[in-house]
Amino acid sequence: MNIAITGLGAISACGLNLKETITNFSLGIRQAREVTLFKTDLNYPVFEAKGFIPEDKKYMRTLSLAFCAIKEAIIEANLTDFSGIRLGICLGTTVASQLNDVDFYKEYRKNGSAPVDAAKRFLESNLAQAVKDYFHINTKFCCTLVNACSSGTDAIGLAISWLRNDYCDIAIAGGADELNRVPLDGFNSLGVVSNSLCTPFDRDRSGLNLGEGSGIVILEKEESALKRNRTLDLFFKGYGLAADGHHLTAPHPEGRGLERALDFAMHQSDIKVDEVAFINAHGTATRDNDKVEGRVFRKVFGENIKFVSTKGFTGHTLGAAGGLEAVFTCLGLRYGWIPKNVGFTHMDEQIGIAPVGVKTDIKGRYAISTSLAFGGNNSVLVIARN
């Protein structure tokens, strides 16, 4: 069964919508700055979605980002009326799942009590459930994944399963995460945050920059898309998912989980390595991730594989990353080019291959998006152009 992609939506520091994102990709513009969204002692460049105005303060920022991207995607999909549609909602996040309101806790610690508004908001912030309520969708296929940095990719993968198994006809899938003090502190403590703009895959890379955003795809069974007169240009072909089974914070040194996930996804897609036009990499710019990921690319795809990390434009958006990068992979196939891997200057000999250094034309029908999560989860999507 073919799974068509009929809508795309994205919001990040790179653009408040697809059009802005594509423009900034093309011009190689990076929009990072110091943290403005909350008070912090840390002085790192971050990728905030500048200019984004949440429509209603009653929603957690993560939810507002998701609503924004979903609205863009459902417009493209011509899906504003959900009645009579067997719909599924599958979304990934990290921040929205945790009660990490520092002010609430500070007060609770001090007084043994605190205004529970923050807590009430948290209990209304299960991402998929909130989307279901906000858009008035009726479905029991409503799942929030919290698989760290591969959550967005995994959400799309799960939605693909639902469609293939005929649990629903159309799905809204992807991820969202806001920039938040807690993960910023946490990643800093792990020593993986860079105090300059990140340089994925570069020999001298010194860590990641955090970002925020939401990336959403509308996927549907081909027959459903045809019935609704959609133009069919993009499809999901395969999804692979495998655990390193190695360590809580470090990837397996040989990337065994990534290789297994790639193997499964490509086998499911029935494509060969030389048919892959490009890879949108996870590419966080940490010493470990890029080394492992880059070496697996070289091993599996050879030295001529084109790949790019778009985290130079968006920062690491955690739960949103997989969703955003699926969207960017789709854009690459649709328009026939990928942006340069901003920040990259020198190849790392320990990796042995380099990402694209300039905006690059793409020929070929298939592309891959990879995600390597904190905790050792590895996820791969294979996307095809008609």
Partner 1 sequence: MYISGIGVVSDKTEKDISILKGIRRADDFSKMAILAAHNAFMDSGLKEETKVNLGVILSTAFGPHVTTFKFLDDILDYGDANVSPTLFSHSVHNAANSYISSNLGIFGPTLTLTDFSKSFYQALLVAQSWLEEKRCEHVLVGYVEQHGKEIDYILSNIAKEYFLKEGSVFFLVSAEKCLKEYCSINVLTYQNEFISGFSLAKSLLEPKNYVKEVK
Partner 2 sequence: MKVDKDQELAEIRKKLKVLLVNSLSLEDIKPENIKDDEILFGEGLGLDSLDAVEIVVLLQRNFGLEVKDMNQGRKIFYSVDTLANYIYENQKK
Q: Does 42 bind partner 2 (CB under 8 A)?
A: no
Q: Does 386 bind partner 1 (CB under 8 A)?
A: no
Nearer to partner 2, 83 or 189 (CB): 189
Q: Does 347 bind partner 1 (CB under 8 A)?
A: no
Nearer to partner 1, 21 or 151 (CB): 151
Q: Does 165 bind partner 1 (CB under 8 A)?
A: yes
Q: Does 250 bind partner 2 (CB under 8 A)?
A: yes
Considering only 63, 87, 184, 218, the residue that binds partner 1 (CB under 8 A) is 184
Q: Does 248 bind partner 2 (CB under 8 A)?
A: yes
Considering only 1, 116, 226, 273, the residue that binds partner 1 (CB under 8 A) is 116
d(CA 30, CA 86): 40
Q: Does 245 bind partner 2 (CB under 8 A)?
A: no
Considering only 249, 345, 350, 386, the residue that binds partner 2 (CB under 8 A) is 249
d(CA 85, CA 230): 15
Q: Does 206 bind partner 1 (CB under 8 A)?
A: no
CA neighbours within 13 Å on the CB side: how many for 83? 1
Considering only 191, 229, 349, 363, the residue that binds partner 1 (CB under 8 A) is 191
Considering only 62, 147, 153, 370, the residue that binds partner 1 (CB under 8 A) is 147
Site for partner 1, rule CB under 8 A: 40-42, 94, 97-100, 102, 105-106, 108-109, 113, 116, 119-120, 122-123, 126, 128-129, 140-148, 154, 158, 161-162, 164-165, 167, 181-182, 184-191, 241-249, 256-257, 260, 264, 373-377
Site for partner 2, rule CB under 8 A: 189-191, 247-250
